[in-house]
Structure 1
Amino acid sequence: MVSSVANETDKKMMEILRILSEHEEILGAKAIAKELKKKGYNLGERAVRYHMRILDEKGFTKRIGYSGRKITKKGLKEIEKGLVYDQVNFIFSKFEEMIHHTSFNPNTGKGKVVVNTSEIPPEALPIIKKAFKEGLCVSPHARLEKIDEKYKIVTVCGTTIDGLLLKEGIPIIPSFAGLVEIENYTPKRFTEFIAYKKTSMMPLEAFTAGEMTSVLDVIKYGEGRIPANFRLIPETGREKALRLLDKLQKMNIGGVLKVGEAGKNLLGMPVDDGMVGIAIMGGITPICAAQEAGHDISIKMAETLVEFSKLDLITRHRKLLKEPGTPSKEKVRILLTKAWNLIQQVDFDPDTITGKVIANISILKKEDLNKALKIIKKVCEEKPEYSTSPYFRIIKLEGDRVGIASICSLTVDGVLINQGIMSTPTYSGLLEIKDDMRRFVELTAYNGSSVEPHEIYISKGMTRVYDSLSGSGRILASLREIPYVAREKSLKVVEKLRESGLNILKVGKTNEILYNAKVGRYKVGIVTPGGLNPLAAVKENGVEVKVKAVESLMDINKFFIINKI
């Protein structure tokens, strides 16, 4: 939220308000927790009650006897203000708030540090302690609290180091969060990242799905991927920063993977002249290890601040990872760079339905192919507008795997550009559907991520494509911008695309807020459904599928129409 709730809570507050606004009946904590889970938020009844008490105090909700809550007029107004594009700004402002309030003193060991809060089952503790012991953490100091049948574990967040650098008078710029590849126990390079200022999600939280990290492999074999953050400081503050980091290490606060040299790229991330990169391990790394082992875990990033003295030393630790050597020459590319190079090669002609399109490729077991095709067909027949197109292709692979290619919505940008209309992919998002209502609830900029966010939304189980067939759910969608002067011409091209089988959800008007997403000044937004929606529905039905977006160019003639099989 952007107004009074924004500085004290997070997006879950907005989701609770949205849920209450969508129901005329009074809802209790159990019902709200169930609805939150559908939206991808694992919040227990106790936590929901805590959040609702705050909403009551703010006047956004009202308690009705013992039954539950109803949203107030003030709460409804708050929803109108809390647009998703504001969440993009809110995420970064939340980090700034945490940085500002950090007060830990490395000389005395007293003061507040930023922490992450997670709920874990008791059986996950041995794995988490093992990660702590190997030094795969920001600090081995943590706090455990028994809550019903689970534990709440509070771990030190890497944002603490940002706050302490600032307290030393060193300007700190949190830039990206992502995954760092480890080889032979040595950090090599960032493989994926999302910019703090370009997303409505907590950037590091985007990479916490069990299949994205491999902390356990790092512990066992010295190979894998761990969550990490990347920030910049001026080169004139480098020596001062190193002295502070040395002090912190003696107080059991660390997790620094590498402090770079002035103007030299660090772990594949580019650094401007006059600046120095710092890579810091994510404070949730031990929790990710337990998640990889299959434990049901809820993670809240940079949740609050606590007194360091109230944390306990979980275990003595060693430094498993080695110091990185020469800077990696391999740079991480943003998604938009890859997208532009594919968009430029699209030559699909909607009149003749010939030419090359951009394709996503998803991998699954051969034995699951027939089931997957039935689900894809159901989605495309019942809600054709929820998929980029009804065109698919089966790709033979070695072994027991098979690929399914679907058309990526970036193909639309290629077609528009070939017609002389500059179309710029702006946001990849998650679109909530409720009957005739549509609104974006998550947005991540194409120019602020190395990975297609739709892959993340699917991996984290945030889609509800199959549910949307019945009227309410969440589908993948994306927003692109064109100059307002090109709108009339675009409408004609869009109509041809629709006739050829490619779907467009909406063409906006100049400066219009489109499905809760704001377009640039003198721009017009175009919203398209995600080409991976049918595959997301497949995964929602229990079929193991690995999705990859924006993969390659393919000739449309090699595809078949799913509705005709």
Structure 2
Amino acid sequence: MSESEHRMIEILRILNEQDKPTGSKLIADELKNKGFNLGERAVRYHMQILDEKGYTERMGYSGRQITNLGREKLEKGLIYDQVDFIYSKFEEMIYLTDFNYITQEGNVVVNTSTIYNEESINILKDIIGSGLSVSPYVNLNRVGSNDEIEVTTLCGTTIDGILLNEGIPSQPQYGGLLKIEDSQPIKFTELISYKKTSLTPLDAFSSSGLTSIHDVVNSGNGIIPANFRLIPGIGRQKAVEIISKLEKIGIGGVIAISEEGKDILGIPVPDGMVGISIVGGITPFCAVQEENQPIDIKIAEEIRDFKTLSPLTSNVKHSLKEVEHDIQPKIPFLLSKTWNLIQQVNFDVEKRKGDIISNVSYINRDDLDSSLEIMEETYNNNPKYINPYYKLIDHPTDEDKVGIATICSLSIDGILIDNGIMSNPKYGGLLELTEPPLFIDLISYNGSTEDPHKIFLAKNMTSITRNIGPSKILASFKEIPYISRDYSVYLLDILNNIGFSIYKIGKPRELAYNAKADNYNFGVVTGSGLNSMGAIKEKGIDVEVKAIEKLLPFENMDRL
């Protein structure tokens, strides 16, 4: 993002904070407070551009106000703030919770999702009745005369707020997927940190096919959404007492409380701290989704007076056993799993030979010809953004399936490191191809156990071949020390000419397509090899998407 673009985003932010039309003098004063030394004349120039783009509109002599299009632009244009905003949003919700569990009065945090038939209500009752929810307290609001029903349920963040009101600071750490065996919570299989993501962690794992909540209820084996927070060890006993009292009034869902400094469910707990895991508030909604019922799931949307909620069922039986405190292997995060692969990349940019990291995704062999045609058409339509290299690989066990290997963007980090340049993979993101392109979602590689691009594909968030608004493709953001910029640019230009997807080489203190590098670094935006798989998936072909799978010799790959 250029400096001019940055200024216009800041102007939109100022207008969005005002409830009335605003003049250029006030905007100039506000910009000065934010460190932008722009006079009224320069502000008027920027406002004229914003008017032409439809982001603002003039209201006579009173000044300008932001339009709905401007608010959309603002939301996308501040994605570098958004990666910190999610955590801040939960901190805000925790602070605003003032529920008194003795009088049962006050505000709680709720999720409001929308279902579309009575059958879904019965599913919610079954799951809530099994104890796989934070609370049986809900609110059902029928919208209009149709079958649309807004369902408000209690969010586990409410418990964090109650603990804070009792002087126990609770710090949200992760949302993820928890494995259950014989009704025993075993360990988290996937995690995303609440910090450095623009996508709420449990929202990332709410995709169809990732959970098996009904299996947990029926057989005691499966996967449920859950989250994890830390509290100081000195507050453990008091927290246990409060949680016990909350359960008696219908607020529960606590899966496990660790001992001080003891790892639990595969998550490390620092010395002096205690880990607490709570079932995800969206669990009943994910169960509706498992039954292929239409549903619109939203997470931690708002604060609501507890009195507006009432029990959906009075018959709640807890289906999970207490956690056994034997130490599970720590769940490895994505980067810790891939650094060894990155280090083994030995591609020679001059000879165009050597090993790169590949993604290997699988399709039915009968769909191979159609898939290759889709890949070729997608590349021909947009060669700037789609990587043309692939390799067909046999499935290890199933002759009816075939693998399509594509180049993983972490190969570029490996190539730079192999040439003595420290390249740090920072985010996997969803890039909207506006002018200029902008990241509209980012997930930190360092705070996730799953490849962010795989998450975006699972949630059908791409628009690579669909002609619905601006295209949305998968891209990565890396940061590199400024001292090595000249040599990096030289190597990246060669890689781009070979066919590796290099979208943007940023400058120090510049927002590169709306992603921000740390001080004394510059950002590089690269394309994902999974864009080809996203194109195939968008055309209705089943793809088993795999990311960061194995090393492959680049010279053995074919080109579209």
TM norm structure 1: 0.85
What is the match of residue 446 of structure 1?
Answer: 445
Q: What letter corresponds to residue 414 of structure 1 in structure 2?
A: G
1:300-315 equivalent positions in 2, closer than 5 A:
300-315=298-313
TM-superposition CA deviations, 1:474-515 (whole Å, max 9, x none): 000001011111111011111221233212111111121110
Q: What letter corresponds to residue 60 of structure 1 in structure 2?
A: I
Answer with 390-399 or 109-118: which moved more.
390-399
What is the match of residue 403 of structure 1?
Answer: 403
- 1:265–1:271 CA contact under 8 A, matched in 2: yes
7 and 205 in structure 1: CA distance in 2 versus 1, 3 angstrom threshold: farther
Q: What letter corresponds to residue 140 of structure 1 in structure 2?
A: P
TM-superposition CA deviations, 1:108-136 (whole Å, max 9, x none): 22221110000011132222211111111
What is the match of residue 50 of structure 1?
Answer: none
1:411-450 equivalent positions in 2, closer than 5 A:
411-434=411-434, 436-450=435-449
Is 1:276 the counterpart of 2:274? The answer is yes
Classify the secondary structure of the residue corresponding to 1:524: strand
7 and 324 in structure 1: CA distance in 2 versus 1, 3 angstrom threshold: farther
- 1:258–1:324 CA contact under 8 A, matched in 2: yes
Is 1:60 the counterpart of 2:66? The answer is yes
Q: What letter corresponds to residue 108 of structure 2 in structure 1?
A: V
391 and 22 in structure 1: CA distance in 2 versus 1, 3 angstrom threshold: farther
154 and 81 in structure 1: CA distance in 2 versus 1, 3 angstrom threshold: closer
Correspondent of 2:101 among 86, 92, 106:
106
TM-superposition CA deviations, 1:357-410 (whole Å, max 9, x none): 111121222222221111111122222232344233333343332221111000
Is 1:130 the counterpart of 2:136? The answer is no
Q: Which has the larger radius of gyration?
A: 2
- 1:351–1:500 CA contact under 8 A, matched in 2: no
1:185-224 equivalent positions in 2, closer than 5 A:
185-224=183-222
- 1:118–1:152 CA contact under 8 A, matched in 2: yes
Q: What letter corresponds to residue 419 of structure 2 in structure 1?
A: Q
Classify the secondary structure of the residue corresponding to 1:290: helix
Is 1:363 the counterpart of 2:362? The answer is yes
- 2:390–2:404 CA contact under 8 A, matched in 1: no
Is 1:116 the counterpart of 2:122? The answer is no
1:3-82 equivalent positions in 2, closer than 5 A:
59-61=65-67, 71=69, 79=74, 82=77
Is 1:319 the counterpart of 2:318? The answer is yes
Classify the secondary structure of the residue corresponding to 1:454: helix
- 1:7–1:94 CA contact under 8 A, matched in 2: no
Cα shift at 1:541: 0.9
Tell me the distance in 1 between the aligned counterparts of 2:220 and 2:443: 32
Cα shift at 1:227: 0.8
Tell me the distance in 2 between the aligned counterparts of 1:2 and 1:437: 19
- 2:138–2:311 CA contact under 8 A, matched in 1: yes
Tell me the distance in 1 between the aligned counterparts of 2:290 and 2:474: 25
Tell me the distance in 1 between the aligned counterparts of 2:266 and 2:15: 39
Identity %: 46
Tell me the distance in 2 between the aligned counterparts of 1:375 and 1:251: 56
Cα shift at 1:329: 2.5
Classify the secondary structure of the residue corresponding to 2:297: strand
Tell me the distance in 2 between the aligned counterparts of 1:150 and 1:21: 38
Classify the secondary structure of the residue corresponding to 2:74: helix
Cα shift at 1:419: 0.7
274 and 485 in structure 1: CA distance in 2 versus 1, 3 angstrom threshold: same
Classify the secondary structure of the residue corresponding to 1:188: strand
Tell me the distance in 2 between the aligned counterparts of 1:420 and 1:234: 42
Classify the secondary structure of the residue corresponding to 2:207: coil
Q: What letter corresponds to residue 360 of structure 1 in structure 2?
A: N
Classify the secondary structure of the residue corresponding to 1:385: coil
What is the match of residue 151 of structure 1?
Answer: 149
Q: What letter corresponds to residue 119 of structure 1 in structure 2?
A: T
- 1:144–1:151 CA contact under 8 A, matched in 2: yes
307 and 443 in structure 1: CA distance in 2 versus 1, 3 angstrom threshold: same
Tell me the distance in 1 between the aligned counterparts of 2:69 and 2:17: 17
Classify the secondary structure of the residue corresponding to 2:500: coil
What is the match of residue 54 of structure 1?
Answer: none
- 1:195–1:449 CA contact under 8 A, matched in 2: yes
Cα shift at 1:556: 2.4
What is the match of residue 391 of structure 1?
Answer: 390
TM-superposition CA deviations, 1:446-470 (whole Å, max 9, x none): 11111111111011111001137x9
Tell me the distance in 1 between the aligned counterparts of 2:13 and 2:129: 40
Tell me the distance in 1 between the aligned counterparts of 2:75 and 2:129: 47
TM-superposition CA deviations, 1:231-277 (whole Å, max 9, x none): 00011000000000000000111101100011111100111100010
What is the match of residue 95 of structure 1?
Answer: 90
C-alpha RMSD of matched pairs (Å):
2.5
State the number of aligned residues.
507
Q: What letter corresponds to residue 428 of structure 2 in structure 1?
A: S
- 1:428–1:454 CA contact under 8 A, matched in 2: yes
Q: What letter corresponds to residue 187 of structure 2 in structure 1?
A: R
Tell me the distance in 1 between the aligned counterparts of 2:423 and 2:431: 20
Cα shift at 1:198: 1.2
- 2:263–2:327 CA contact under 8 A, matched in 1: yes
- 1:384–1:390 CA contact under 8 A, matched in 2: no
- 1:444–1:453 CA contact under 8 A, matched in 2: yes
Classify the secondary structure of the residue corresponding to 2:357: strand
TM-superposition CA deviations, 1:184-235 (whole Å, max 9, x none): 1111111111111110111111110011111122122211111111100011
Tell me the distance in 1 between the aligned counterparts of 2:405 and 2:18: 43
- 2:264–2:325 CA contact under 8 A, matched in 1: no
- 2:55–2:69 CA contact under 8 A, matched in 1: no
- 1:511–1:521 CA contact under 8 A, matched in 2: yes
Is 1:232 the counterpart of 2:227? The answer is no
Answer with 184-193 or 550-559: which moved more.
550-559
Tell me the distance in 1 between the aligned counterparts of 2:213 and 2:75: 41
Cα shift at 1:71: 4.8
4 and 453 in structure 1: CA distance in 2 versus 1, 3 angstrom threshold: farther
Structure 1 gap segments, 5+ residues each: 9-19, 27-57, 62-69
Q: What letter corresponds to residue 83 of structure 1 in structure 2?
A: L
Classify the secondary structure of the residue corresponding to 1:489: helix
Tell me the distance in 1 between the aligned counterparts of 2:543 and 2:17: 36
Cα shift at 1:352: 2.2
TM-superposition CA deviations, 1:130-160 (whole Å, max 9, x none): 1111111000111111113211100100000
Tell me the distance in 2 between the aligned counterparts of 1:80 and 1:116: 21
Tell me the distance in 2 between the aligned counterparts of 1:233 and 1:25: 44
- 1:380–1:390 CA contact under 8 A, matched in 2: no
Structure 2 gap segments, 5+ residues each: 1-11, 20-49, 57-63
- 2:134–2:155 CA contact under 8 A, matched in 1: yes
Tell me the distance in 2 between the aligned counterparts of 1:337 and 1:7: 45
